[in-house]
Amino acid sequence: MAQLVVDETLSGYLRNVGAVYNTIHDAAVGGAFEYQTVVQVSNDYVDPDYYIYRGVAEFDLSALPVGAVISSAIISLYGWSTWVNEPFDIVVVSGADLVEPLQDADYGDLLDEVTSFGSIASGDWVESDYNHITLNPTGKAAIVKEAVNYFAFRCSLDISKTTPSGENGVQWLGAGYGHDAYITINYSTGATFVQTACIG
């Protein structure tokens, strides 16, 4: 069994704000923000506007052999803050449509990404420590070996298009601020030795 631990190479979020929830939720274009101090995922109402944030992380998995059989994959995010009016999950979804640099249209590109790759409940989110999200079989199968991989993060209330009555969200530290997000992948290649590699 071998292990690959890789720090993110890009972090950011896609955001939309407006007075009509359905309009901002379904919008084709939002705002793209890279390399912020914190990354945010939320589905908020702060009178008089609604706010939706969708998070992004990029991991360079070029060191993952194309023939690797992945037994587990965990994304770790260093919690900064959380606010919960209505309980929700932070859901990992596909970021396959994303490229660097992030584009304003990426906000709308994530609208149809509703299949969970793994999640963590807002009640389990911790601050000033890492939050670990284990990828499910769908998430593991979506990993592209020997390539850069993008993952997106959505609030479950955003995915279900639930109009919020208050503030619901989390933040974690972005890349370059001392506690980068990272992914840990355990895999086998048929070799009899254990290999550990870190890229960061």
Beta strand spans in 95-199 (E): 118-121, 130-134, 148-155, 168-173, 182-188, 196-199
Query: pTM (2 decimals)?
Result: 0.93
Residue 103 inside a domain? The answer is yes
Q: Are 32 and 103 in contact (CB under 8 A)?
A: yes
Residue 94 inside a domain? The answer is yes
Residue 85 inside a domain? The answer is yes
Q: Are 101 and 34 in contact (CB under 8 A)?
A: yes
pLDDT, position 121: 98
Residue 110 inside a domain? The answer is yes
Q: Are 122 and 168 in contact (CB under 8 A)?
A: yes
Residue 191 inside a domain? The answer is no
**Structural domain that includes position 175:** 8-64+75-181
- The β-bridge relationship of strands 31-34 and 2-18 is antiparallel
Q: Is 40 exposed, middle or buried (0-12, 13-18, 19+ CB in 10 A)?
A: buried
pLDDT, position 197: 46
Residue 188 inside a domain? The answer is no
pLDDT, position 115: 98
CA distances from 188 to 63, 65, 149 (A): 13, 9, 19
Residue where the block lists tokens 């919008």: 27
CA nearest to 154, candidates 7, 30, 4? 30
Q: Which residues does the chain have with pLDDT short of 50? A: 192-200
Residue where the block lists tokens 């379904």: 26
180 token code pair:
């980068």
pLDDT, position 6: 98
Q: How far apart are CA 138 and CA 124, in angstroms?
A: 22
Residue 112 inside a domain? The answer is yes
Q: How far apart are CA 45 and CA 76, in angstroms?
A: 27
Q: Which amino acid is at 145?
A: K
pLDDT, position 191: 56
Q: Is 192 exposed, middle or buried (0-12, 13-18, 19+ CB in 10 A)?
A: exposed
Residue 187 inside a domain? The answer is no
Q: Are 119 and 89 in contact (CB under 8 A)?
A: yes
Report the domain count for the chain. 1
